[in-house]
A and B are shown apart, each in its own frame.
Chain A
Amino acid sequence: MDFITVTQSLFEGFAVTCLLFVFTLLFSLPLGFLISFCTMSKIKPIKAVFKVLVWIIRGVPLMLQLFIVYYLPGMLSPTGINPFGKIDNYLYFNYGIDNGGALIATLIAFVINYAAYFSEIFRGGIEAIPKGQYEAGQVLGLTKSQVFSKIVLMQVVKHIIPPISNEVITLVKDTALARVIGVIEIIKVADMFASKAIIWPLFYAGAFYLLFVGLLTVLFNYIEKKLSYYKV
């Protein structure tokens, strides 16, 4: 098997990895923001429900959550047909997309899982802002939303950049779990070579991750530097 063919195949897998990465972030960040407000809610039942949800989501292996999202709807439906299988077929016959259903199931599981982690990071960031900042805004006549958007938010962002960058980097590698429900991401591609006794593409796939994480590290360092003009 020549280098170029392997590279080409790995890039195809890597595209799926990137797709998972981008869409997971796109949805889990705002969802995590919402959940963080629910876990800080003054309404006790809402707070309790979301605290338990976050506990469950953070307490169960992500791989298991993939299985649950993928299989449970089918098991619960009266017909017993897996809806993601249907989506699979639909996308395949109409658009020629392979494993589309599994991809969507993966996205759902990842978005929920990462939103739970992000929500805790947001909560920590918001709770780290001293009460005095809110009070200063209040005595200066600002509305609650102005206090949040003009005073608190930027300080929260500065607080949470390091833990967020940690999660984001973890997500890059967690995408490899998607293969357990049939998503053909880069590790799965490399593994298909390995099953033909060609092992080196597996190591080669590692280089893709390294490069990607390297770029993210540079990006986050840049953001941190940008925000270093003030101290919280």
Chain B
Amino acid sequence: MAFLEVNNLYKSFGNAQILKGVSFQMDKGEVFSIIGSSGNGKTTLLRCLNFLETIDRGSITVNGNVILDAENGITTPHLTNRLTFGMVFQNFNLFPQYTALKNVTLAMDLNAKNRLKEQNLTSRQRKSLLKEVCQTNEETAKNLLKRVGLEEKMQHYPCQLSGGQQQRVAIARALALAPDILCFDEPTSALDPELTGEVLKVIKDLRDEGRTMLIVTHEMEFAKHVSDKIIFMADGVIEEMGAPEQVFDSPRSEKTRSFLMKAKE
């Protein structure tokens, strides 16, 4: 059984049908890039996987766990499944009032607090446990920021960082919650061209570590080099899916061919 199974996803906004039956499977450690013109459902697909949109039909299974199954009424994830996916946004969406370090630790700490609340503990026990956890979290966060090359910037606020640095903080923030599958929604689209390299390098390193990742991108060269498979989406369906060489060099679909021609220009 595949690690991630996406089955027949449908999503519409009002009368606009955005996803019209999207299905694919990926194994643990694989990297898939999703390409296609704007408005063809790439971002919506990622948003559905991250529960930012509610799916109309279809199901999502990770590691044998049914995460969503619209036909059986599971349209919001169970609490324990909420962090199955991680998301890196196009516009970073860092929290401006916190330092880089706090951006990474905030959710770790609050999630720990939520978990401790469910346990039967006295408030003193809870406090001391939480303190311990927060200390470990800080160490984890520091290591993550080191890994994305921001050792020197931990105490900086987002407004003091370049776009590339902000996006790297956002990646560290997503990694901090140890998601099974990390999603990137056009991670370099909001960056100046000279800053895309540093972000792409981090993603490449993550691939080398064996992270399972889904990347929506317009960086064709990058997608070709980093991905195990390319998904080309058109009109709310997967028009073509295959190994990068196959999709880029000898696309089977006419739509893929014309999209790649346009992308090259």
Contact = CB atoms under 8 A, between A and B. Distances in A.
B163 interface: no
Interface in B48-99: 50-52, 82-83, 85-87, 89, 91, 93-97
Contacts of B91: 130, 132
A141 B93 contact: no
Which range holds the interface residue count of chain A?
20 to 34
B95 A141 contact: no
Interface stretch (B105-113, B210-218, B248-256): B105-113
Interface in A87-142: 130, 132-133, 135-142
B106 A135 contact: no
Interface in B149-182: 157-159, 173-174, 177
B114 interface: yes
A139 B159 contact: no
Contacts of B85: 139
A7 interface: no
Contacts of A229: 157
Contacts of B97: 154-155, 158, 230
A106 to B, nearest CB: 38
Interface of A: 130, 132-133, 135-143, 146, 150-151, 154-155, 158, 229-232
Contacts of A133: 93, 95
A132 B96 contact: no
28 contacts: A132-B89, A132-B91, A133-B93, A135-B93, A136-B93, A136-B94, A136-B95, A138-B51, A138-B52, A139-B51, A139-B52, A139-B86, A139-B87, A140-B106, A140-B111, A141-B82, A141-B111, A141-B114, A142-B110, A142-B111, A143-B114, A146-B110, A150-B110, A155-B97, A158-B97, A229-B157, A230-B159, A232-B96
A151 B96 CA distance: 9
B114 A140 contact: no
Which range holds the interface residue count of chain B?
20 to 34
B89 A230 contact: no
A230 B52 contact: no
Contacts of A130: 91, 93
Interface in B187-223: none
A141 B89 contact: no
- Dominant SS at the A interface? helix
Contacts of B177: 140-141
B73 to A, nearest CB: 21
A130 B114 CA distance: 25
A141 B77 CA distance: 11
A158 B158 CA distance: 16
A232 B158 CA distance: 9
Contacts of A140: 106-107, 111, 173-174, 177
Contact of B107 (A141, A154, A158, A232): A141
A139 B50 contact: yes
Given A140-B173, A141-B111, A230-B159, A151 B95 contact: yes
B96 A155 contact: yes
Closest 9 CB pairs of A and B: A140-B107, A136-B93, A132-B93, A231-B159, A139-B87, A154-B97, A230-B157, A230-B96, A141-B83
Nearest to B108: A140
B93 A231 contact: no
A82 B100 CA distance: 60
A149 to B, nearest CB: 10
A148 to B, nearest CB: 12
Given A132-B89, A135-B93, A232-B96, 4 more contacts: A132-B93, A140-B106, A140-B174, A140-B177
A139 B51 CA distance: 8
Interface in B96-143: 96-97, 106-107, 110-111, 114
Nearest to A152: B95
B102 to A, nearest CB: 10
A101 B86 CA distance: 60
A135 B52 contact: yes
Given A139-B52, A140-B177, A231-B159, A150 B93 contact: no
